C-alpha cells in the first residue's frame, strides 16, 4: 500500500506480516469475519435505539420551550445547533463508509449504501482499505483518515463550545483522537494508524459505525446537560396547553354538547380567560373582538353548546394565561363534534383491535337501550358475556384479518338492527427481552450472574398482562480479545459455562444475548431483538 520509502527493517516486517496474515487466513479468518459481522449488526441496532432516545429528549426540550420561550430559547437554540452538527457529522461518516465499500468492492456508491456487511465479497481485504485511509503516507496524513480525524476533532470542539466554559469539565465526551496508541509489538501509533492500518474492510465498517455511536452519545450528553441546565424553579408543570375534554363527542338531538377546557398554568391560583366562536376552525388573537369570552375558575373553563340541529359542529378559540415571568401567552384550540340521532356504540376497553390468543374485553351498548335488550353477534371468533361485569369477552382465531360486530336491540317490542363495526385482528406485539431489567448498556458482572435468566416483558403501554416463555437463546462474547465463544440455552436461564465466562469477563467486555426465541399465549414462536451489555 505505501508509496513512501521503506527501510530494510520495515520491508522485512512487512514481508513477515504478509506471511502471518496468510497463515491466519487459513485458520481463523472466517471466524473473525463472522465476529465483525455480529458486532457490526449490534452496533447498527444500538445506533437506531440512540436515534429514538435522542428524539424523545428533543421532545422533552421542546415542551420546556413551549412553556416559556424567552427563558428557554438560548438553550433550545444550542440544542438545535447540536442536532445540526451531529446530523452533518453522521451524514459525512456514512458517506465515507459508502465510499470505502464502493472502492474496495469496486461497485457503484448507490449499491454500497444498501449492501449488508455479510454480503461483501472483499470484506477480508486490508490493502485497499489501508490505502484508502493512509494514502501514500506512513502516518495517514495523505489519506481519508486525516480528514476523518480532523472532522471528529472539529465536531467535538464545536459541541463543547455549546457549554459554558465553567461547566465544560462536567462533560466527559468521547471521540478523543489523541492518546497513547500502540501496535501489537508495543510500537507507538497515532489514531489513524491504530484504527485503520492493515485493518480489513469488515472491521473498518464496524469501526466507522462505532464512531457514529460515539457521535450520538456525545450529542445525547450535550443536549441532556443543556436541558438540565434550565432553571427548574421556573417550571412547575411539564406543559402549558389548551385541551378540550368533551363529556361526549356524540350528542343526541335535543341534548347539550358539554366540554371542559383545562389549562395547566404556572400559577394554579390564576384564572385563565377563554375566547371562542362557533362555526369556525381557527380564531386568531387579532379577531378577539368577534369572540365570546368565558372567565375560568381554578384553571378550568366549562364550555356548553346546545345541540339543536343534526350534523357536524365546529368551534375554535384561544386561552390567555400568564407564564412564569408574567408575560401573557395565548394558546389556540379547536375541536368539532357531531350531533346525530341515537345509534350503536361499540368501544373496545383496552385497544382498537382484537389480539389473537387473548380474551379481548369490549363494552357494547346502545344509548337509551337497556343492556338486557341488546343482542350482539360476531362474524369471526367467539363472543360471550363476562360473568364478573357487564362487558363482553371476544376471542379471535389465527389466519383472519378482521371481524365484524353487529348489534340488534329490542325496541318497542321489535328487533331492530343498530349497526355494525369492523375490527382488525392482529398478532400480539413482541415483548422486550431483559436480563437484570436491562437490554443494553453497562452492567456489573455480579448483578448479571445474580439475575441468571432472560425475562421477556411486554411494552409498558400494552394493557394486557401476558407471560412469554423463553424457549432458547444464545450468548456470545470474545475470550482473550479474539476468540469468539458462544453457548446455547434451551430455556431462559444462563448455563453454567455462561456464568463462569461472565464471572471472568474483563471491564469493558461486551456480551451479546441473541437468537432469543419466545412463545406467547398465542402459541406463536418469535425472535426478539438482542441484548447487548458491557461489563463495567
DSSP assignment string, 356-403: TTS-EEEEEEBTTB-GGGEEEEESSSEEEE-TTSS-EEEE--TT-SEE
All three cell numbers of 108, joined, read 457503484
Among left, alpha and beta (phi > 0; psi -120 to 50; other), residue 161 is alpha
Q: For residue 1, tell me if it sits in a domain.
A: no
Whole-structure pTM value: 0.43
Which has more confidence, 248 or 457?
A: 457
In angstroms, the CA 318 to CA 337 distance is: 18
In angstroms, the CA 23 to CA 29 distance is: 9
Q: How far is CA 456 from CA 435, 441, 468, 516, 526, in A?
A: 9, 17, 6, 10, 12
Q: For residue 83, tell me if it sits in a domain.
A: yes
Instruction: Give residue 232's pLDDT.
Output: 40
Question: Quick one: 89 and 179 in the same domain?
Answer: yes
Predicted confidence (pLDDT) per residue in 49-90, tens digit:
888 888 888 888 888 888 777 778 888 999 999 999 999 999
Question: Quick one: 285 and 326 in the same domain?
Answer: yes
Question: Quick one: 334 and 463 in the same domain?
Answer: no
In angstroms, the CA 175 to CA 177 distance is: 6
In angstroms, the CA 247 to CA 258 distance is: 6
Question: Quick one: 478 and 516 in the same domain?
Answer: yes
Helix ranges (H only) for 263-320 are none
Question: Quick one: 17 and 94 in the same domain?
Answer: yes
Predicted confidence (pLDDT) per residue in 163-199, tens digit:
988 888 888 888 889 888 888 788 899 999 988 998 8
Mean pLDDT of the chain: 82
Question: What's the domain range around 230?
Answer: 8-234
Instruction: Give residue 340's pLDDT.
Output: 54
Q: Which residue has the cell 366540554?
A: 259
412 by DSSP, 3-state: which?
coil
Predicted confidence (pLDDT) per residue in 347-357, tens digit:
555 557 898 88
Q: For residue 2, tell me if it sits in a domain.
A: no
DSSP assignment string, 434-479: EBTTBSEEEE-HHHHHHH-B-EEE--TT--S----EEEEEEEEEEE
Residue 292 near residue 329 (C-beta atoms within 8 A): no
Question: Quick one: 61 and 150 in the same domain?
Answer: yes
Question: Quick one: 229 and 362 in the same domain?
Answer: no
Instruction: Give residue 326's pLDDT.
Output: 58
Side-chain-side CA neighbours of residue 239 (13 Å): 10
* The domain boundary residue, chosen from 181, 214, 234: 234
Q: For residue 183, tell me if it sits in a domain.
A: yes
Banded pLDDT at 238 (limits 50, 70, 90)? very low
CA dihedral sign of residues 38, 39, 42, 44: negative
Q: Can you name the residues that pair with 370 across neighbouring β-strands?
A: none
Q: For residue 491, tell me if it sits in a domain.
A: yes
In angstroms, the CA 396 to CA 382 distance is: 7
Predicted confidence (pLDDT) per residue in 282-293, tens digit:
989 888 888 888
Question: Quick one: 200 and 128 in the same domain?
Answer: yes
Question: Quick one: 411 and 512 in the same domain?
Answer: no
Question: Quick one: 506 and 359 in the same domain?
Answer: no
Which has more confidence, 463 or 350?
A: 463
Say yes or no to pLDDT of 34 above 90. no
Question: Quick one: 397 and 251 in the same domain?
Answer: no
Out of 2-6, 70-74, 354-358, 406-410, pick the least confident.
2-6
Residue 360 contacts by C-beta under 8 Å, 6 or more apart in sequence?
A: 348, 350, 351, 354, 393, 394, 395, 396
Nearest residue to 192 (alpha-carbon basis) of 154, 273, 135, 245: 135
Say yes or no to pLDDT of 381 above 90. yes
In angstroms, the CA 368 to CA 371 distance is: 9
Say yes or no to pLDDT of 100 above 50. yes
Question: Quick one: 422 and 437 in the same domain?
Answer: no
* The domain boundary residue, chosen from 314, 340, 366: 340
Q: Can you name the residues that pair with 354 across neighbouring β-strands?
A: 425
Which has more confidence, 449 or 307?
A: 449
Q: For residue 3, tell me if it sits in a domain.
A: no
Banded pLDDT at 418 (limits 50, 70, 90)? confident
* The domain boundary residue, chosen from 369, 394, 426: 426
Structural domains counted in the chain: 4
Amino acid at each position: 500500500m505505501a508509496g513512501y520509502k521503506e527501510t530494510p527493517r520495515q520491508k522485512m516486517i512487512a514481508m513477515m506480516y504478509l506471511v502471518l496474515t496468510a497463515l491466519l487466513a487459513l485458520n481463523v479468518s472466517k471466524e473473525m469475519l463472522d465476529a465483525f459481522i455480529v458486532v457490526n449488526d449490534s452496533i447498527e441496532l444500538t445506533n437506531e435505539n440512540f436515534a429514538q432516545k435522542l428524539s424523545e429528549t428533543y421532545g422533552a426540550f421542546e415542551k420546556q420551550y413551549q412553556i416559556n420561550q424567552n427563558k428557554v430559547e438560548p438553550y433550545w437554540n444550542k440544542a438545535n445547533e447540536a442536532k445540526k452538527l451531529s446530523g452533518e457529522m453522521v451524514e459525512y461518516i456514512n458517506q465515507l463508509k459508502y465510499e470505502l465499500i464502493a472502492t474496495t468492492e469496486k461497485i457503484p456508491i448507490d449499491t454500497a449504501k444498501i449492501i449488508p456487511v455479510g454480503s461483501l465479497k472483499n470484506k477480508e481485504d486490508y490493502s485497499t482499505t489501508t490505502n484508502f485511509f493512509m494514502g501514500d503516507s506512513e502516518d495517514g496524513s495523505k489519506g481519508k483518515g486525516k480528514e476523518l480525524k480532523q472532522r471528529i476533532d472539529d465536531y467535538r470542539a464545536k459541541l463543547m463550545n455549546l457549554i459554558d466554559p465553567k461547566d465544560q469539565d462536567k462533560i466527559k465526551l468521547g471521540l478523543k483522537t489523541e492518546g497513547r496508541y500502540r501496535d501489537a509489538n508495543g510500537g507507538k501509533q497515532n489514531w489513524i494508524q491504530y484504527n485503520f492500518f492493515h485493518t480489513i474492510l469488515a472491521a473498518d465498517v464496524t469501526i466507522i459505525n462505532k464512531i457514529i455511536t460515539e457521535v450520538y452519545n456525545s450529542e445525547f450528553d450535550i443536549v441532556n446537560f443543556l436541558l438540565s441546565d434550565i432553571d427548574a424553579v421556573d417550571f412547575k408543570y411539564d406543559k402549558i396547553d389548551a385541551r378540550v375534554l368533551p363529556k361526549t363527542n356524540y350528542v343526541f338531538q335535543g341534548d347539550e354538547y358539554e366540554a371542559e377546557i383545562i389549562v395547566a398554568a404556572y400559577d394554579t391560583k390564576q384564572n385563565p380567560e377563554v375566547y371562542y366562536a362557533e362555526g369556525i376552525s381557527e380564531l386568531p388573537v387579532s379577531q378577539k373582538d368577534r369572540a365570546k369570552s368565558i372567565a375560568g375558575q381554578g384553571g378550568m373553563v366549562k364550555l356548553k353548546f346546545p345541540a339543536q340541529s343534526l350534523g357536524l359542529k365546529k368551534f375554535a378559540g384561544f386561552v390567555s394565561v400568564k407564564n412564569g415571568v408574567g408575560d401573557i401567552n395565548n394558546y389556540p384550540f379547536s375541536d368539532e363534534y357531531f350531533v346525530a340521532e341515537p345509534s350503536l356504540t361499540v368501544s373496545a376497553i383496552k385497544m382498537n383491535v382484537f389480539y389473537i390468543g387473548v380474551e379481548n374485553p369490549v363494552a357494547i351498548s346502545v344509548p337509551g337501550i337497556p343492556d338486557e335488550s341488546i343482542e350482539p353477534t360476531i362474524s369471526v371468533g367467539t363472543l360471550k358475556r363476562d360473568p364478573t361485569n357487564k362487558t363482553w369477552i371476544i376471542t379471535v382465531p389465527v389466519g383472519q384479518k378482521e371481524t365484524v360486530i353487529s348489534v340488534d336491540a329490542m325496541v318497542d317490542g321489535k328487533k331492530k338492527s343498530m349497526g355494525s363495526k369492523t375490527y382488525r385482528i392482529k398478532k400480539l406485539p413482541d415483548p422486550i427481552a431483559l436480563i437484570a431489567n436491562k437490554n443494553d448498556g453497562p452492567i456489573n458482572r455480579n448483578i448479571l450472574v445474580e439475575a441468571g435468566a432472560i425475562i421477556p416483558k411486554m411494552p409498558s403501554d400494552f394493557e394486557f398482562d401476558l407471560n412469554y416463555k423463553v424457549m432458547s437463546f444464545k450468548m456470545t462474547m470474545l475470550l482473550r480479545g479474539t476468540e469468539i465463544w458462544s453457548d446455547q440455552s434451551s430455556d431462559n436461564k444462563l448455563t453454567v459455562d455462561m456464568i463462569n465466562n461472565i464471572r471472568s469477563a474483563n471491564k469493558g467486555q461486551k456480551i451479546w444475548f441473541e437468537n432469543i426465541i419466545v412463545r406467547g399465549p398465542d402459541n406463536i414462536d418469535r425472535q426478539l431483538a438482542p441484548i447487548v451489555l458491557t461489563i463495567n
